[in-house]
């Protein structure tokens, strides 16, 4: 059984977001999203928002380890167990 989740952002009239089907538990996704924010997107929340929410037309099956591009190898190993 999968654990679905949603990544959303506020708008003028409420929220807009995107569904993520697999691995939606916070203990697994929050470290990945924080690492992506710090390394792949260089703390540019707008670029991250566009990539994760605004440019996605349907949904994500899962968030991939490509979000860890630019992260130190030790962090990638810790977050993924060497699985990319």
Each residue's pLDDT tens digit, 42-63: 999 999 999 999 998 888 888 8
Note the residue count of the chain.
84
Overall domain count for the chain: 1
Nearest to 67 by CA among 33, 19, 24: 33
Q: Is 36 exposed, middle or buried (0-12, 13-18, 19+ CB in 10 A)?
A: buried
Q: What is the pLDDT of residues 20-43, one digit of tens each?
A: 998 888 888 899 999 999 999 999
pTM of the predicted model as reported, rounded to 2 decimal places: 0.83
Range of the domain at 12: 5-80
Number of Cβ within 10 Å of residue 8's Cβ equals 15
């Amino acid at each position: 059984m999968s654990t679905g989740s949603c990544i959303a952002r506020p708008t003028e009239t409420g929220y807009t977001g995107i569904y993520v089907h697999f691995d939606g538990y916070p203990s697994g996704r929050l470290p990945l999203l924080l690492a992506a924010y710090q390394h792949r997107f260089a703390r540019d929340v707008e670029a991250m928002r566009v990539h994760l929410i605004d440019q996605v037309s349907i949904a994500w099956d899962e968030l991939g380890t490509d979000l860890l591009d630019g992260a130190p190898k030790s962090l990638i190993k810790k977050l993924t167990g060497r699985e990319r």
